[in-house]
Amino acid sequence: MNSETGTLFLHPDRNLALELVRATEAAAIRAVPFIGKGDKLGADGAAVDAMRKFLGTVDFDGLVVIGEGEKDNAPMLFNGEFVGTGRGPACDIAVDPIDGTSLTAAGRQNAISMIAVSDRGTMLDASTVFYMQKIVTGAEGIGVVDIRQPVGENIRALAKAKGKLVEEIVVAVLDRPRHEQLIADIRATGAGTRLMLDGDVAGGINAALYGTRIDMCVGIGGSPEGVATACAIKAIGGLIQTILYPKTDLEKQKGLDAGLRFDEVYDADTLVRSDNTFFVATGVTDGGLVNGVKRLGPIIRTESIVLRSHSGTIRRVTADHLAEKWLG
């Protein structure tokens, strides 16, 4: 019960999504001056400041369960920070003011600003373990693929379920030295790869969305990004499976102390124990998920995607902002 209004708030409602998209739009717009300038921390800092400012105006009681920046000492909306006015639904949130800071700094594609939201106490706090193995597909992969199987078996099973030739399957994977053998194994099946320089949230979502060129997203990526992706997958109706991947014994011990399990496959329902999730993302640079910010004379145009699991809706929001309001 909210003492100021006397209103009982239970769950995030549909209006929250349009409030959250203002925050991702702001973060994306503020990052634009840093695109291609080589200043990763500057871009992240500008996006963080903008996102925090706009989140502070939203009527909700948001707890940052997964913040950005702890891995690389970047500016952050830190874990445990409360955002919002405090009046409204109590929520867990995962934020990444720029998923793809390196992409932004280099002027490359597929950088986004994103926020994921679920009911309070339902989002897995995997902050003690920075990485996890992941596999993401569309709904055809449910009951068909298994992260514990070799990638070749999963590709062949998914191809059969989708009625495709294996040679038609495209698998997204981060282009990292740790994935050298994984990439070779994918190509050995005859399937193609879509190598991502960064930003496996967008890669995972594209693997689950109907009608994209990506059929599967696999590999080792950030745990925060995995939980955020799960919020989106619950709205799309696809599959995500993850296994925590500690890099050191100390990190594993910290995870054990936090109650994490390393012999368990975390799926969408254990990554996020809520049937009412939101995922909101705005493009910073152009990509397969959303277009980046564009300056069109006196107008700044943004494109966002808004996913809500409770209603099973996917909305794309194009907004034109008066540039003069963002100057200075």
Rounded Cα gap, residues 285 and 28, in angstroms: 9
Question: What is the C-alpha to C-alpha distance for residues 304 and 327, in angstroms, rounded to an integer?
Answer: 21
How many other β-carbons are positioned within 10 Å of the β-carbon of residue 315?
A: 14
The residue type at 3:
S
* Closest residue by Cα to residue 304 from 288, 294, 289: 289
According to the annotation, is 89 in a ligand binding site? no
Does 200 appear as a known binding residue? yes
**Residue 131, annotated as binding a ligand:** yes
Cα distance between residue 162 and residue 196, in whole Å: 23
Q: Is 225 annotated as a binding residue?
A: yes
Angle between helices 151-162 and 180-188 (to 10 degrees): 40
Task: Output phi, psi for 155, to 5 deg.
Answer: -65, -45
44 is in an annotated binding site: yes
CB 216 within 8 A of CB 136: yes
The pair of three-digit structure tokens given for residue 190, joined into one six-digit string: 């005859």
Q: Is 86 annotated as a binding residue?
A: no
177 annotated to a ligand binding site: yes
User: Is 180 one of the annotated binding-site residues?
Assistant: no
Give the span between the Cα atoms of 152 and 169, in whole angstroms.
11
State yes or no: 120 annotated in a binding site.
Answer: no
Maximum Cα interatomic distance, the chain, rounded to a whole number of Å: 62
The DSSP result for 179-241, as a single string, is GHHHHHHHHHTT-EEEEESS-HHHHHHHHHSTT-S--EEEEEEEHHHHHHHHHHHHHHT-EEE
**Is 68 flagged in the annotation as binding?**
yes
Closest CA to 68 of 177, 192, 228, 205: 228
Which residues make Cβ contacts (< 8 Å) with residue 184, sequence separation at least 6? none
Instruction: Measure the CA–CA gap between 50 and 67, rounded to whole angstroms.
Output: 15
| 198 assigned ligand-binding residue | yes
* Residues placed in the known binding site: 44, 68, 96, 99-101, 131, 176-178, 198-200, 222, 225
* Residues placed in the known binding site for substrate: 99-101, 131, 176-178, 198-200, 222
* Residues placed in the known binding site for Mn(2+): 44, 68, 96, 99, 225
